[in-house]
Amino acid sequence: MRKLGYLALTASALALLGACTTPTTPTSSAPATGPMSFFISSTGSGKGADLGGLAGADSLCQRLASAAGGSAKTWRAYLSTPPTFASGTTPAVAAINARDRIGAGPWFNAKGVLIARDLENLHNGNNLSKDTALDERGNVVKGRGDTPNEHDILTGSRADGTAFAPQTDTTCKSWTSSTDGSAIVGHHDRTGPLPENWAKSWNFSHQSAGCSQEALVRTGGSGRLYCFATN
């Protein structure tokens, strides 16, 4: 089935995304292995993109991490929200950028493999792929070619980890809607139906068909999140 979200944002996604690097193994003074500080949530909210806002998304990450033995860390969902305006040009509520919520790194998956050494590396040259972007139990998340395909991960973010302007809903009403709206997703397996760079982006690939659980499934997801430890 053709993904409806591709039609909605492909042109602007290509314009904003620019060059997209393929996954590489980070090389730096950061340890090669470490305790888990990154995972893809093994489940979503069950209510599509209605996560209960950022607080609800963070709570989901914290709960899953705690059940997997990561309770000593503070966990945050990699999600952005746009600014809101009461009137005029000054935002009543400022934008929140996913990259500003997740600490400074380095981040390791559930098997101790280095994902990224810092924010710059995370957004340019990270080690994310289907083999490394594991859930909190160390399980591989189904991707393109699997049944079902669940490679769409909710982010609401641009390629650099920042929020969009509010003209178009890219966060299902700041992660509170399971009906109206749409959400930006990334592909954890770094692949898609076309060879263009947007299909390889882990955090900025296309818009979902909608905000309901059914709509997320229809465009290749299940409402999963990227979760990062801030400490």
Residue 18 contacts residue 111 (beta carbons within 8 Å):
no
Look at the block and give the residue holding tokens 């060879």.
195
Residue 126 has pLDDT above 50, yes or no: yes
- For the stretch 7-62, pLDDT in tens is 344 444 434 433 333 444 444 567 889 999 999 999 999 999 999 999 999 999 99
Confidence at residue 218, expressed as pLDDT on a 0 to 100 scale: 95
Look at the block and give the residue holding tokens 């490394």.
132
Look at the block and give the residue holding tokens 């990227």.
226
Confidence at residue 26, expressed as pLDDT on a 0 to 100 scale: 42
Confidence at residue 167, expressed as pLDDT on a 0 to 100 scale: 86
Q: Which amino acid is at 133?
A: A
CA distance 128 to 133: 6
Residue 5 has pLDDT above 50, yes or no: no
Confidence at residue 55, expressed as pLDDT on a 0 to 100 scale: 98
Confidence at residue 221, expressed as pLDDT on a 0 to 100 scale: 97
- For the stretch 163-191, pLDDT in tens is 999 888 999 999 999 999 999 999 999 99
Nearest by Cα to 100 from 83, 76, 84, 131: 76
CA distance 143 to 101: 26
Confidence at residue 39, expressed as pLDDT on a 0 to 100 scale: 98
Q: Which amino acid is at 65?
A: A
What are the residues whose beta carbons fall under 8 Å from the beta carbon of 189, sequence distance 6 or more?
129, 130, 133, 141, 143, 144, 151
CA distance 179 to 82: 18
Mean pLDDT of the chain: 88
Look at the block and give the residue holding tokens 């950028």.
97
Q: What CATH topology corresponds to 1-16+33-231? A: Mannose-Binding Protein A; Chain A (3.10.100)
- Beta strand pairing call for 221-229 and 152-154: parallel
Confidence at residue 90, expressed as pLDDT on a 0 to 100 scale: 65
Q: Let me know the angle formed at the C-alpha of 42 by 205 and 115, rounded to the nearest 5 degrees.
A: 60
CA distance 151 to 224: 9
Confidence at residue 15, expressed as pLDDT on a 0 to 100 scale: 42
How many CA atoms are closer than 13 Å to the CA of 151, on its beta-carbon side? Answer: 26
Confidence at residue 209, expressed as pLDDT on a 0 to 100 scale: 96
Confidence at residue 29, expressed as pLDDT on a 0 to 100 scale: 63
pTM, rounded to two decimals: 0.87
Confidence at residue 87, expressed as pLDDT on a 0 to 100 scale: 62
CA distance 220 to 229: 26
Distance separating the N- and C-terminal Cα atoms of the chain: 41
Q: What percent of the chain has pLDDT over 90?
A: 75
H-only helix segments in the chain: 4-17, 53-67, 119-122, 172-175, 213-218
Confidence at residue 89, expressed as pLDDT on a 0 to 100 scale: 63
